[in-house]
Chains A and B, each alone.
Chain A
Amino acid sequence: MKDSRLPWLRPVVALVISAFFLVPLYMILVNVFKQGEKITQSPASLPDPPTLDNITGLLSRTDNLFWASLTNSIVVTTLSIILLTVLSAMLGHFLARSRSRWARVAMLLLLSGLMIPPQVILMPITQVLRALGLMTTLQGLVLFNVGYYIPFGVFVFTGFLRGIPIELEEAAAIDGASRSRIFWRVVFPLLRPATASVLIFLGVWIWNDFINPLVILGPSQGTTITTGIYRSIGQYQADFGTVFALMFLATLPVLIFYLFLQKHFVKGLTGGATKG
């Protein structure tokens, strides 16, 4: 459809609304490059002259806070989302294709897991981790992430699977392929958009999580970047320039990741819905 009358109206309105929406993001960006003492007086002005001091000050910390926790974050996030994608795609497929009453029960149980904030059950979670000998390990944190976020993955995948005709799988079965083979060779490649949205959402959430790594990794095993940043706000609370730089650095990797995958993930999110 064309905007027949007033063709300029739509872009102008869109730009004005976006401008308001953008203000907080703009605030982060300009203040990262501004001298700390100017931030309180003129939070919205452009950095003049711009400075990299806030960022370089952090990157060159002697204790390597940023670089050390960056590694941890990347390891935890990558392992978690790969495992989550694999396990939730398999579980989602199983549940979507199962006609058992138990499958519905499992689905309901999974849905309820989305509704509890992890902070509220964090102490029992540490009890489970201790019983398994996984407390204060990266793999403990990864497994916790898998358990806590798997419902999300399952829902995205089952939703998407409903739009994929089962005849495809049946045809492959007649050709004698095993169920695993069918899943990985036939079904999984079709799930690409859903996989993209699972990767992006879970990647973002796990990256940004600070409460769980704080307790599960504990204070002695290094930290993830979000936890490290959160912790450093104490030291830099009077130094707004550094606080903004911390937030910028913590967000940058995940923002890049998002921009990289954004083309694909929208379809996955609403795959079932848009097929109509």
Chain B
Amino acid sequence: MAVDVRTTSVPASATPGSRRPRLPRAERLRQFALFGAPGLLVYTCFVLAPIAISFGYSLTNHNPFNPPTRFVGLDNYRLLFTDSEFLTSLRVTTILTVIVVIVPNVAGLGIAVLLDRKGWLYNALRTVFFTPMVLSSVVVSVVWTRMLDDEGLVNQTLRALGVEQPPGWLSDPRLALYSIAIILSWQMLGFCVVVYLAGLQGVPNELAEAASIDGAGPVRRFRSITWPLLAPSLTINTVVLLITAFKVFDHIQVITHGGPGTGTTATIAYDVLQTGLVANRQGYASAMAIVMLVIIAAAAGVTLKVLNRREVNL
């Protein structure tokens, strides 16, 4: 997801318009009704209200197949923090998120620097790197499953190269999560490349050339000129990767079904769906969903704060 997330923490009053006199109240209301209200109304109906309904459920023992529904207060939340399965899925999700935030960010920056040239070749390659973003998660999952199966392309190749026991990419409990992380990173890489490329194209050539004349080597030029100017790109990529990785569900469902075994690739989103839809414990699943939302919002908020401060200081 691409957003100029900085907007949230920069006070609106910082826009150049702050010198203007405020409009009369009636006029402001009219403008809100015309411009603001329609979008917010739809958003409230289909996102805020469902979250509120979920929160309501999370205070009950709601199980559609085992009525009656009783109010249980914060019991579900209390239970969550002693539920080893939930804590494991939290750990799994955290590992996945950390990898997916780092790998496409670093690789994307490298590739963007590599492709930051004019010419048809580089244009074509940019398109290539972005293409996985256009694929649905089902397609990505099916193709990668075929690649990483023991009889898949990767292990066929390894065997041809003389590796007798190639790794069980998706079947080894110690590896499966990392394989999923690589698949997600592959899909998100193009996004990072594009955002970094856009950032790089905003770096004025004169600046780099001036530095070059001053005798600065490529590494120093990158560190002191390019990298600071890429700060906004880094912020966008990091937050987008964080959110994408934290809520991943489709890939898990199609590739491993949360397996192999327990505690390997079952992410929080997967755990929520499994608890609510398969085990019918919808009250409890709602509590999980709310906690999940709070955690990701906190993580994104802190990341934004840190990166924004960094941007300002640079």
Contacts and interface: CB of A to CB of B under 8 A. Distances in A.
A251 B136 contact: yes
A71 to B, nearest CB: 18
A197 B2 contact: yes
Given A108-B8, A120-B292, A148 B47 contact: yes
Nearest to B285: A120
A103 interface: yes
B40 interface: yes
Interface string B137-148: 111101110110
Contacts of B229: 276
A18 B34 CA distance: 48
A272 B121 contact: no
Nearest to B189: A21
Interface residues of B, number: 103
A55 B314 CA distance: 54
Nearest to A270: B198
A267 B152 CA distance: 39
Interface in B153-188: 153, 156, 186
Contact of A120 (B11, B35, B289): B289
Contacts of B13: 99
Contact of A27 (B146, B151, B199): B146
Contact of A226 (B31, B32, B49, B136): B136
B136 A210 contact: yes
A94 B276 CA distance: 38
A208 interface: yes
Chain A interface residue number, banded: 35 or more
Given A21-B129, A270-B195, A117 B249 contact: yes
B13 to A, nearest CB: 5
A183 B36 CA distance: 13
A147 B28 CA distance: 24
Contacts of A66: none
B27 to A, nearest CB: 9
A154 B9 CA distance: 15
B7 A143 contact: no
B46 A143 contact: yes
B309 interface: no
Interface string B281-311: 0100000010011001100100000000000
Interface stretch (B17-25, B77-85, B95-103): B17-25
A155 B202 contact: no
B72 interface: no
Interface in A260-276: 262, 266-267, 269-276
B71 to A, nearest CB: 17
A159 B12 contact: no
Contact of B297 (A27, A112, A132, A226): A112
A40 B153 CA distance: 9
A159 B240 CA distance: 15
Contact of A269 (B18, B138, B198): B198
Contacts of B153: 23, 27, 43-44
B42 A43 contact: no
Contacts of A226: 136, 138
B7 A158 contact: yes
A210 B136 CA distance: 9
A113 B233 contact: no
Given A107-B7, A111-B5, A270-B198, A117 B269 contact: yes
Contacts of B57: 124
B127 interface: yes
Interface in B232-287: 232-233, 236, 243, 246-247, 249-250, 269, 272-273, 276, 282
A121 B50 contact: yes
Interface of B: 1-8, 10-13, 15-18, 20, 22, 28, 31-32, 34-36, 38-40, 42-51, 53-54, 57, 111, 114-115, 117, 121-122, 125, 127-140, 142-144, 146-147, 151-153, 156, 186, 189, 194-195, 197-199, 201-202, 205, 208-209, 212, 229, 232-233, 236, 243, 246-247, 249-250, 269, 272-273, 276, 282, 289, 292-293, 296-297, 300
Given A250-B136, A258-B131, 16 more contacts: A23-B153, A90-B35, A91-B36, A94-B35, A94-B36, A95-B36, A98-B12, A111-B3, A128-B49, A143-B46, A167-B16, A170-B20, A255-B131, A270-B4, A270-B198, A272-B7
